[in-house]
Structure 1
Amino acid sequence: MSGPNKFGSPPGQDPEGAASASGTARSKGASQSSAAGRIARAVASAVLIVLTCVLVPVALLATWVHDIALDTDRYVSTVKPLATEPAVQDAAVHRITEAVGVRVNGEQAASDIADWLVTQGLPARAADALKGLGPQLDAAVNQAVTKVATDVVRSKAFVTVWTDANRVAHNAVVHALTGKGRGAVGVSEGTVTLDLGTVVEQVKQKLVDAGLKPAEHIPTVNKQMVLFQSDQLAKARKGARLLDIVGNWFPILVVLLGVAGVTLARGRRRALARTALGAAFACLVVAIALVVARHYYLDHLSPEVQSKAAAAEVFDTLVRFLRVSLRTAIVLGIVIALGTYFIGPGRLPVAVRGRSERTADATARWAAAHQVRTGRVGTWAQTYRRAITLVALLVVALVFALWNYPTVLTVLLLVLVLLAVLAVLALLAASGRQAAEGRPAAPSRPGDAQG
């Protein structure tokens, strides 16, 4: 029986073959580990990108709750224009007239006057005729009340009353959404009402001053005007309280999730485009859902809401900021996706970039022919063009992030500014290339020719 050979390997086994097999095993192990790492990164990137797309509209909703519903100044400035909306004014006039007119009975007044005149010798037939004027007297009184209420509501004083009432009422709106605080607005079973007592008292005083003495006896009556009504209001409190807690930090968290997802992706340019389009699509879905919710809300108003037009104005005003934010996010997502597409290797982006460079070169040659040169600035722009472009992108992104309530117009304005900067940079870089290509060789000195 033979023992191990001189290389220490068992009989019949080639030591070089053993080493090769060991190396192959290690290579396979490393390859499998690398593949597993790539799969893990791809899965993590996909999860983060999907979360980002889903959470972008939620972040906008959190900002709306935090900045509109829970900020007194923003809330008051949002609802202040409602005081001049015809639909809201008509609803206020109707509610005030109803509150005042319920205590002024023309028929009863005519009957009392007729009875009193009978005691003074008025014939019964004439008294009956006077009693028949009751409906006309009642209509005249109601018309007078409506006219006075309309004058009060459409005056500048009503804007002040409306603004002050909503400012005092803000705590109750907070209560409606988060269950905290109270105010001049009543919140009961999903119905938010505004107290018009000050306006009713003004109308009452104007009627008395005009000579309508029965208005003095108008007692304190229900003067509530329904601002908003929803059976789901109580159910939404938990969600609103959560959104209030996360507040302005939630959008930052969503951005960080998106950055992490794009960074982990293998193709970052495509991942960025997909994230932008996915977020834009999610915001579009929420915007459509908001339209559907508006129609559903208006079609299912309770009888307490006396004016559908006024309810529509209130709803549209309160969600205006959210709508603008959703539209802005949609446009921003499309702009980012288009930007990533036009810096890619596709046929159209390459053709567009090539045409832009040729145009810049032609402009630089024309400028050089007319003795217009950029000197060191052009050379510097050509040398550091990529870095300058990156800085410009970061500056525009920072301006957008710090912009107070950006809109679609803000996005388009920043895009135009960025394109203008890139166009100027392209012209400067083309001038730098033109100067480098046309620079003559340095003249030789006399001593250089002698060896």
Structure 2
Amino acid sequence: MSPRLRSVLSAVLIVLACLLAPLGALSTWAMYGLGDSGRYEATVAPLAADADVRDAVAAGVTDGILREVHVRQGLQGPVNHFVRDAVRSFTETEAYRTAWETANMAAHDAVMRALRDDREGAVTVDLAPVTERVKRRLAADHMPLADRIPVEHTEITVLGAADLARLRKGFHVLEVAGFWLPVASVVFAATGIVLALCRRRAVLATGIGTALGAALLGAAVAVGRGLTLSGLPDGVSRTAAGAVYDALTETLRFVSWLLLAAGLTVALGAALTGAYVRYRRTAAAPAQTPAEQSTRVGA
């Protein structure tokens, strides 16, 4: 293989490796971070104690209860105040944390089953178990008319049929890409370095490219957060949604910082090694004697 062809092929492989590194991190996070039930549960469980999330849940549950409970005009104010206080108090209990985890895992399991089973139609979740827990708590606090709160099998749509069909295609791609993209990135980088005429420069380029890819991944996560929050409908708490987004992407942000640090470390190591080698060569070069210098001048 000619030196020129080796250089071109090495450069192409290193560029591909640097592009696939952040994409591999993204696909692995989506597949094994969000797709795995255990990891998803561990991620969303602490959100039950988040103040913004609790306020958003309390507001939504309170409005739902007040729409179902009808009292006389004179009792509306006291009942509304009591319900709001009771629901906020409920969000501090173990029962609320259990209901939060149950509702989140029910939605997660429903979505994952729909993606894997190729089912048709929208994905829905029944909120009756959550309403039942709230009703029991209000009744235990002796709230007036708590026994009249209807516990109906209210299904909410967590994923529309059109969105499901589109996401299913991406999900099947992630099942393959989540494993093979990181592997391909490592293989391409190693092959590109081996083929390079100057391997130290190839290692330096690989480190810098990996760091740039990691920086782009971190920027994409930040931009995605802004777009997600700006696209929320009216009435949805942006602070609570931001807390959920941050929790779900925490691992991805950590990986982006890890790739950035690794890339910069590799690049710095290659640069320092190159500087040291040049220094040793300069120090090892024999110094010219005055006679040799005079001979060169006379020539």
Same fold (TM over 0.5): yes
Q: Is the contact made by 2:189 and 2:206 (CA closer than 8 Å) also made in structure 1?
A: yes
Q: CA RMSD in A?
A: 3.0
Query: 1:140 is matched with which residue: 67, 74, 78?
Result: 78
Is the contact between residue 22 and residue 214 of structure 2 (CA under 8 Å) also seen in structure 1? yes
Do 1:194 and 1:224's aligned partners in 2 also have CA atoms closer than 8 Å?
A: yes
Question: Is structure 2 residue 14 aligned with structure 1 residue 49?
Answer: yes
Residue ranges of structure 2 left out of the alignment (5+ in a row): 284-299
**Residue of structure 2 in register with 1:266 after alignment:** 197
* Aligned twin of 1:319: 249
CA 1:155 to 1:306, structure 2 compared with 1: closer, same or farther past 3 Å?
Answer: same
Q: Is 1:83 the equivalent of 2:48?
A: yes
Partner Cα distance (1:309, 1:193) in 2: 25
Which among 340, 343, 346 is matched to residue 270 of structure 2? 340
Q: How far apart in 2 are the matches of 1:321 and 1:240?
A: 19
Question: 1 CA distance for matches of 2:136 and 2:45?
Answer: 25
Letter of the 1:312 partner, please give it: G
Aligned-residue offset at 1:41 = 1.1
The CA deviation at 1:290 is 1.8
Alignment of 1:307 onto 2:229: no
State the structure with more CA Rg: 1
Query: 2:116 is paired with a residue of what secondary structure?
Result: coil
1:374-411, CA deviations, whole angstroms, 9 ceiling, x for partnerless residues? xxxxxxxxxxxxxxxxxxxxxxxxxxxxxxxxxxxxxx
Partner residue, 2:294: none
Identify the residue that residue 99 of structure 1 maps to in structure 2: 64
Q: Is 1:246 the counterpart of 2:177 in the alignment?
A: yes
Larger helix fraction of residues: 2
CA 1:320/1:173 → structure 2, altered by over 3 Å: closer, same or farther? Answer: farther
Letter in 2 for 1:250: L
Residue type at the aligned position of 2:7: A
Deviation at 1:194, TM superposition (A): 6.3
Contact 1:66 1:248 in 2 (8 A): no
Shift of 1:236: 4.6
Task: Determine if contact 2:20/2:184 at 8 Å carries over to the other structure.
Answer: no
Counterpart residue number, 1:172: 110
Write the distance in 1 (CA, Å) between the matches of 2:163 and 2:220. 16
Aligned to 1:220: 151
Shift, 1:329, TM fit = 0.2
| TM-score, length basis structure 1 | 0.56
Distance 1:181 1:302, change over 3 A: farther
Q: Displacement, 1:253?
A: 2.1
Which runs of 5 or more residues in structure 1 are unaligned?
1-35, 111-133, 355-451
What is the CA–CA distance in structure 1 between the aligned matches of 2:39 and 2:246, rounded to whole Å? 15
Which of 62, 76, 101 lines up with 1:163 in the alignment?
101
One-letter identity of the residue aligned with 2:169: K
Shift of 1:306: 2.0
Checking the alignment, whether the CA contact within 8 Å between 1:69 and 1:75 is kept in structure 2 is yes
TM-score (norm 2): 0.82
